[in-house]
Structure 1
Amino acid sequence: MKVMICDAHCHLDLMDDMVEFIDEIQKSNISLFAVGTTPKAYSRVVQCCRSSKNIYVGLGMHPQLISSGYDDMQLFEALFRQSHYIGEVGLDFSKEYIQTKKLQIEVFSEIIKLCEQCGEKVISIHSLKSSNKVLEILETYKRQKSNKYIFHWFTGSIPQIKKAIEMGCYFSINPRMMKTKSGIEIIKAIPFERILLETDAPFALKTKYIDVIRKELEGVVAKISDIVGSDVSHIINETSKEIFQF
C-alpha cells in the first residue's frame, strides 16, 4: 500500500465536480486540507465531506474577498468553534487588493485573536506582499503553543522566514516555488521538519483527478529532496501526520 501523502492547501470547493473528487479521495491514499475562501461555503463542504476521514475542511476568509460582498466576519465567528482547521486567511497587499489593506488587517487580527483564545487550531496563511505585517500580527497575539500556523506559498525574505521559524511556523511548498531562484532559496532556508506539501489546486494546478494530485505531490517531494541534497520524504510525512493526525 502506498504511504499516505498530504496536500496541505487545496481548494476542494472550487473543483469542477467536488462530490466526484471527494469520492476519489476516499478511495485513495491522499489526505488534504480543504481550505475555504468564504465562511458561506464552509457548512456545505463539511456536509459533503462528513464521511471522509482524510479531508480536513478549513473555515476560510480570503483576504482578496474582503469587502467583495462575500466576506462575513459575523458568520465566521459563529462557525469558528466548530472548526479545528482555519484557512485560507491572511493578508494580500498586491496592487489589486491594497485598497482594502486596513480592513484586511482588522479582520486577520481578529481571526488570530480568536485562534489564540481557543487554541488547537491548524491555520493556513496567505501572505502575498504582506509577510512583515502577517509576522507582526502573529508576534503581537501568538501565545498558544497548540496552534499550528502554516505559511502557504511563502514569497517573503530569508530574514522573515527565520522569524517565522522562531515562532514555530510551518511552510507548505508547491511546484511553482521551485521554478524561481527566490523560491529555491526559500526552500533551502526552511528546516526539513517545517516543510509541508501543497498543490493550491485548482489555482496552481488545473485537474479533476486525484491521481494527478498524488503525482504532483510526489514530484514536489522529489524536487525538494534534489534541492536540499537529501531525501526528505519521511520527514515531511511525519510532519504531516503530526499536524493533521491521519
Structure 2
Amino acid sequence: MAAWWAAKVLVRWKHPLKGLISPDVFIPLAEETGLILPLGNWILRTALAQARSWKDQQLPDFTLAINLSTAQLNAGLPRQIAAMLRSYELAPGRLELEVTETLLMTAPEESTRVLGELKKTGIRIALDDFGTGYSSLAYLSRLPLDVLKIDKSFVDGLPDRQDDVVIARLIIRMAAQLGMITLAEGVENEAQLRFLKEAGCHLMQGYLKARPLPPEEVAALVSKIQGV
C-alpha cells in the first residue's frame, strides 16, 4: 500500500451528562435545524487551525480528511475553503474532502461542478461509503474524484466472506480503471490488510493503524511513524 499518511477528522458532542455523543445522532439533527452550516464551518476552521499548529511544530506534512454535509456543498464553498487555506498558510494538498453517494445524488450537476472547482485547486476529493448508496456507474465516471473508499461493511467480512471478497476486488479494479486511488475503511486485523494489499488496494484506515486520538497524541504518532 502507498506511503500516504492522512488523518480523518472526527467530531463528537461532549455532553455534560451523556458523555460523548456520536455524529450519527447529532449531525442529522443539525441538518434538520439548519445548524449544519455553522457547525461544518467550525469543523473546517478548527481542523485547519490544528493543521497549522502541527506545521508550526515542524511535523511532516500529512493530509486531513474532512466529511462534507449536503448543505455545505454550495457554490460559495470553493472560495470559502480557499480563504481558510490562505489564512492558515496551508497548501490545498493538505486537505481531502469526503462526500457520500447520497449527498451527491441530491443535486448531481451542482455537486459535480463544485467538486470540480475544489479539485482544480489541488484539494483531494474522496467518495465515502462507496457501494452503500445508489449512484450509477455512468455518473461515477463523470465525478471529479481522487479517492474511492471501500465501505467498512464490505471490509468486515474479509478475507473469508466470499461476497465481500468479490465486491472488494470489483471496487479496486473499477477504481484502477477510472484512475482513482482506493482506500479501505475499518481495517482491524492483519488478515484483512494482507487481502487488501494482494488485491491492489492503495490505502487503509482503521483500528489496526490507530484508534481515534486527541491532537497531541496524533502528533506523537506521526512523529514516531516518520522517525521525527
Matches of residues 128-167 of structure 1 in structure 2 within 5 Å? Answer: 128-131=152-155, 132=164, 133-143=167-177, 147-155=180-188, 158=191, 161-167=194-200
1:35 to 47, 50, 66: 66
Number of aligned residue pairs: give it: 172
SS at match of 2:85: coil
The residue number in structure 1 matching 2:205 is: 172
- What is the alpha-carbon root mean square deviation over aligned residues? 4.3
Give the gaps of 5 or more residues in structure 1.
Answer: 93-100, 178-182, 188-197, 206-211, 223-232, 238-246
Cα shift at 1:85: 0.9
Where 2:67 maps in the other structure, the secondary structure is coil
Aligned to 2:141: 113
1:163–1:11 distance in 2 versus 1, CA, 3 Å: closer
Equivalent pair of 2:40/2:68 in contact (CA under 8 Å): no
SS in 1 for 2:68: coil
The list of structure 1 runs, each at least 4 consecutive aligned residues, that deviate by more than 6 angstroms after superposition, is none
Equivalent residues in 2 for 1:93-108, closer than 5 Å: 101=132, 104-106=133-135
Deviations, residues 112-158 of structure 1 (Å, cap 9, x unaligned): 5346xx7xx642625121243344233235226x6432223335883
TM-score in terms of structure 1 length = 0.50
2:129·2:150 contact (CA, 8 Å) conserved in 1? Answer: yes
Separation in structure 2 between the aligned mates of residue 171 and residue 122 of structure 1, nearest angstrom = 15
Structure 2 partner of 1:87: 126
SS of 1:130's equivalent in the other structure is: helix
Per-residue CA distance 1:175-228 (angstroms, 9 max, x = gap) = xx1xxxxx4xxx6xxxxxxxxxx77xxxx45xxxxxx41423534886xxxxxx
Give the CA deviation at 1:167: 1.8
C-alpha distance in 2, partners of 1:39/1:14?
10
Q: Quick one: percent identity of the two aligned structures?
A: 4
User: Paired residue for 2:90, among 40, 53, 57?
Assistant: 53
- C-alpha contact (below 8 Å) 2:8/2:64 kept by paired residues: yes
Give the distance between the partners of 1:74 and 1:134, measured in 2 at CA. 28
CA contact under 8 A between 2:175 and 2:181: conserved in structure 1? no
Unpaired runs of at least 5, structure 2: 12-38, 156-163
Q: Computing the radius of gyration over CA atoms, which structure comes out larger, 1 or 2?
A: 2
Question: In structure 1, what is the Cα distance between the partners aligned to 2:47 and 2:173?
Answer: 38
Q: 1: distance between equivalents of 2:202 and 2:63? A: 19
Aligned 8 A contact 1:36 1:88 in 2:
no
1:73 aligns to 2:108 (yes or no): yes
In structure 2, C-alpha distance between the alignment counterparts of 1:166 and 1:126, rounded to whole Å = 13
Question: 1:86 offset after TM fit, Å?
Answer: 1.6
Distance 2:109 2:189 in 1: 31
User: Quick one: higher RCO (CA 8 Å, sep 6+), 1 or 2?
Assistant: 1
1:62 has 2:100 as partner: yes
